[in-house]
């Protein structure tokens, strides 16, 4: 859900950006590559006025021409662009690159998109090595799709047999103070932040004084259903004195319980005001094992930007390159001393350093061990920051964080930038 909302907001920004961008770009008509008159572009298995889920895979087909990566100069070939909710751009200009004009510059022929509920238009437009449409333009019909308002029943993620969640150091009938630290454990399934799709993973939800919610849809988010979307394994809970019930329920990347649901038994606790003799040790014993997992890092380890540098002007489509000193790179999930994986933070403050780094459009996880990433930004000022995360996406101790640099995104750069 968060992802959809975010993409909406970003989409709106991108729209604005695109309108300013086209203001710039409309000066010099570009040379257009010829296309055979019988070339055709179409959607595969997607009809006009189709009802679609909010997250859908769109496949493209082209006939009479060939798909090649952007930048490859070859006759009768090009790459796909998907226009979402937008009219045809100027045909003698490079197609803008934003959330409404998706480029498939590696020669992809399918993509997964997220659309908010409502009616949306989709259109395919083929373009040459410089992203300029051909002459005559090779494009598909503009089709409309309908995204249902109410989220339909979601497919539930399968749970691994034997997976379980449990309260640590907290038994049924325990007495706890009004402010208590509740710790939870998980076994047989990985702890991944909300929004990160994972074969066998999910995050905790703590149900306070409530029955189990419906198991075939998103767990509600309110004072009785506390989400731990960053993969936290403990929380400080304030409860009024009296009897209360607590229960843990694991949810997948979309907050939907697994099938079968992974949950703890519902336990009763008695909350008393004031200090509770002897129970503090029961509630919050000194953590014996890895305390919520901060992995040590060498003191001289550093992460930095190879490109761009602070204050530099970059193109809207730029490859950000990362450097790492005195440590190694390992994919997410790999436990190895003195390694971690990069996270690129765009236009956000430094997140809390003792919890898993959030995963969304502003916090890009490079979980495959990548050391560079191509991103698209609307023109203007942006901040970039790098944080190394351990196998669980949690920053190291001490954290390996770059300075937050500021870059200016512009479509024209006076002195030629270093682009490869």
Footprint on this chain of another protein (rule: CB under 8 A): 69, 106, 306, 321-325, 327-331, 334, 336, 338-339, 366, 368-372, 420
Report residue 419: phi and psi, to 5°: -120, 135
Q: How far is the CB of 254 from another protein (least distance, A)?
A: 25
- Supply angle C-alpha 387, 396, 159, rounded to 5: 90
Please identify, using beta-carbon distances, which residue of 24 and 304 lies nearer to another protein: 304
CB-based contacts of 27: which residues, under 8 Å, 6+ apart? none
Nearer to another protein, 261 or 369 (CB): 369
Q: What are phi and psi of 87, to 5 degrees?
A: -80, 175
Instruction: Decide whether 73 or 214 has the Cβ nearer to another protein.
Output: 73
- Name the minimum Å distance from CB 111 to another protein: 17
Nearest approach in angstroms of CB 89 to another protein is 27
CB of 414 to another protein, least distance (A): 23
Whole-angstrom distance, CA of residue 345 vs CA of residue 360: 10
Name the β-bridge partners of 174: 269
- Strand (E) positions, 137-178? 143-147, 164-168, 174-177
Q: Are 173 and 269 a contacting pair, CB within 8 Å?
A: yes
- Distant-in-sequence, close-in-space partners of 280: CB < 8 Å, separation ≥ 6: 177
Contacts of 387 (CB under 8 A, 6+ apart): 303, 342, 343, 345, 350, 351, 357, 395, 399, 400, 401, 402
Query: Which residues is 320 bridged to in the sheet?
Result: 373
Q: Look up tokens 């008509």; give the residue.
A: 29
Round to whole Å and give the CA distance between 165 and 80.
Answer: 45
Minimum CB–partner distance for residue 368 and another protein (Å): 4
Complex with another protein: residue 106 or 221, whichever CB lies closer: 106
Name which of 71 and 260 has its Cβ closer to another protein.
Answer: 71
CB of 106 to another protein, least distance (A): 7
Residue with tokens 């075939």: 216
Q: Which is nearer to another protein, 336 or 381 (CB)?
A: 336
Q: Smaller CB distance to another protein: residue 327 or 394?
A: 327
Query: Smallest gap, in angstroms, from Cβ of residue 333 to another protein?
Result: 9
Q: Which is nearer to another protein, 133 or 395 (CB)?
A: 395
The distance of closest approach from Cβ of residue 324 to another protein in the complex, given in angstroms and rounded to an integer, is 5
Q: Which CB, 213 or 417, lies closer to another protein?
A: 417
Query: Measuring CA to CA, how many Å separate 334 from each of 178, 329, 368, 378?
Result: 39, 10, 10, 34
The least CB distance from residue 291 to another protein, in Å, is 25
Say how far apart CA 269 and CA 280 lie, in whole Å.
Answer: 14
User: Which among 243, 282, 248 is positioned nearest to 265, based on CA atoms?
Assistant: 248
């Amino acid at each position: 859900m968060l992802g959809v909302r975010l993409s909406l907001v970003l989409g709106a920004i991108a729209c604005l950006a695109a309108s300013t961008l086209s203001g710039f770009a409309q000066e010099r008509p570009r040379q257009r590559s010829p296309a055979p008159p019988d070339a055709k572009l179409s959607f595969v298995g997607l009809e006009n006025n189709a009802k679609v889920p909010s997250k859908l895979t769109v496949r493209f087909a082209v006939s009479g021409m060939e798909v090649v990566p952007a930048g490859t100069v070859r006759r009768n070939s090009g790459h796909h662009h998907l226009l979402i909710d937008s009219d045809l751009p100027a045909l003698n200009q490079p197609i803008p690159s934003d959330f409404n004009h998706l480029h498939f510059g590696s020669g992809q022929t399918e993509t997964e998109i997220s659309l908010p509920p409502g009616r949306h238009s989709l259109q395919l437009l083929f373009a040459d090595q410089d992203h300029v449409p051909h002459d005559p333009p090779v494009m598909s019909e503009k089709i409309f799709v309908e995204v249902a308002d109410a989220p339909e029943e979601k497919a539930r993620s399968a749970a691994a047999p034997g997976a379980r969640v449990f309260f640590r150091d907290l038994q049924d009938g325990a007495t706890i103070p009004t402010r208590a630290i509740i710790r939870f454990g998980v076994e047989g399934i990985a702890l991944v932040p909300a929004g990160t799709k994972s074969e066998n993973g999910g995050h905790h939800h703590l149900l306070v004084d409530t029955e189990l919610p419906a198991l075939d849809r998103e767990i509600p988010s309110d004072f009785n259903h506390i989400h731990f979307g960053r993969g936290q394994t403990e929380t400080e809970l304030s409860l009024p004195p009296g009897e209360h019930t607590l229960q843990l329920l694991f949810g997948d990347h979309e907050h939907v319980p697994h099938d079968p649901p992974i949950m703890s038994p519902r336990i009763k606790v008695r909350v008393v005001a004031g200090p509770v003799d002897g129970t503090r040790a029961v509630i919050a014993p000194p953590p014996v094992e890895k305390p919520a997992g901060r992995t040590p890092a060498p003191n001289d380890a550093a992460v930095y930007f190879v490109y761009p540098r602070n204050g530099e002007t970059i193109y809207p489509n730029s490859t950000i390159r990362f450097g790492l000193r005195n440590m190694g790179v390992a994919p997410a999930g790999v436990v190895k001393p003195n390694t971690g994986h990069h996270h690129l933070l765009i236009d956000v403050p430094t997140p809390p350093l003792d919890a898993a780094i959030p995963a969304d459009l502003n916090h890009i996880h490079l979980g495959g061990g990548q050391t560079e990433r191509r991103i698209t930004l609307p023109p203007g000022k942006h901040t970039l920051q790098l944080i190394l995360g351990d196998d669980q996406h949690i920053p190291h101790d001490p954290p390996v964080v770059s300075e937050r640099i500021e870059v200016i995104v512009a479509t024209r750069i006076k002195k030629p930038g270093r682009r490869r």
